[in-house]
Amino acid sequence: MQLHRAVLLLSTFFVFVRSSPLVLDNDNEQVPIVVPNLPDGPVYEDGELPPLRDTDGWIDPRLNGGRFLDFTTKRLGEPLNIIISALSDPYILEEDGFRDYANSIGFAGECLGLHYGNLHDADLGDGLGRKPEHLLIRQHYFPIFGTCWESVRGGHHFRAWRQNGTIANSGAWFIGASKEKDSSKNHKIDDDGYNIGRDYFVEKAIAGSRWQGKWWKADVEWHTGLMPRGRRGVNHGIAIDGRVAVLTVKRL
């Protein structure tokens, strides 16, 4: 009985030693322990990928601590879902030219030049930290008072920031586009309104447009992974698909 137990213990020890990653093989070399690769940086969730490098006409804000959500409240933001690349017509990279371009695709400044709602901040990773929107542009339903009607009836609008700081002076416009409900709903964003607002802007841009004798047409390149998909951190709890449209707008 004792001999049988001794044989069983010896066999168990032999099996254990042979299965150990530290065992010496027949050539007297140690078999290495395989350890899974661990990420060096932050763990990205919901489809977000590490910052992009060597982009043309714009710089990924995340390289310098920025992000693709603006700051609507202390903890929530709205997606910066369109970029007008600095490879675009130089005229529209300046504020007056950009306003003309916005007019050409059916947008204009706010009703009677008056601002409604809170100012949003954004950090474009350009060295200027969180800065307020340069422009808020609304859908222009008809001449003169068309944007006043948008303020009442609801519709498409967007905020825009220029990436023009000392450490990332690309000159690109970063845009947060969305579609909102009417004033009786306190201008709350429509269901799926962030994706809808972005797609509306892009559709107008790639179709081609004109304003006061100037003609433009845009090419689009879609990017995923610049921001997370879903509702995490998004104002109003409205899910986004995480896609960003990079537009290069050419003068015809």
- Give the domain range for residue 107: 61-251
pLDDT at 109: 77
Residue 208 has what pLDDT? Answer: 98
Q: Count other C-beta atoms under 10 Å from residue 10's C-beta.
A: 10
Examine the pLDDT at 30 and tell me if it is beyond 60.
no
Asked if pLDDT for residue 141 goes beyond 80, the answer is no
Q: Name the burial class of residue 186, with classes exposed (0-12), middle (13-18) and buried (19+) by CB atoms within 10 angstroms of its CB.
A: exposed
Model confidence pLDDT, tens digit, residues 74-93: 889 999 999 999 999 999 99
| Domain tally, the chain | 1
Domain assignment of residue 150, yes or no: yes
Q: Kindly state whether residue 15 falls inside one of the protein's structural domains.
A: no
User: Does residue 243 fall inside a structural domain?
Assistant: yes
191 inside domain: yes
For residue 41, pLDDT over 70 is answered with: no
Burial of 216 by CB count in 10 Å (0-12 exposed, 13-18 middle, 19+ buried)?
Answer: buried
Q: Which stretch of 109-118, 181-190, 215-224 has the lowest confidence by average pLDDT?
A: 109-118
Question: How much is the pTM?
Answer: 0.79
Range name among 42-46, 98-102, 134-138, 216-220 with the lowest pLDDT average:
42-46
Of these ranges, 12-26, 45-59, 98-112, 162-176, the one predicted with the greatest mean pLDDT is 162-176
Res 26: pLDDT: 43
More confidently predicted of 180 and 122: 122
According to the model, what pLDDT value does residue 138 have? Answer: 87
Indicate whether 12 belongs to any domain.
no
Bridge-based pairing state of the strands 244-251 and 82-84? parallel
Q: What is the reported pLDDT for 245? A: 98
Q: Does residue 24 register a pLDDT over 90? A: no
Q: Is 251 helix (H, G, I), strand (E, B) or coil?
A: strand
Q: Is the pLDDT of residue 54 over 80?
A: yes
Residue 35 lies in a domain: no
191 vs 28: which has the higher pLDDT = 191
Q: What is the pLDDT of residue 119?
A: 86
**29 domain residue, yes or no:** no
pLDDT of residue 174: 98
36 in a domain, yes or no? no
Q: Which residues of 55-72 are buried (b: 16+ CB within 10 A; e: fewer)?
A: bebbbbbbebebbbbbbb
pLDDT tens per residue across span 191-236: 999 999 999 999 999 999 999 999 999 999 999 999 999 999 999 9
d(CA 80, CA 84): 11
The mean predicted confidence, pLDDT, of the chain is 82
Q: Tell me 213's DSSP state.
A: T
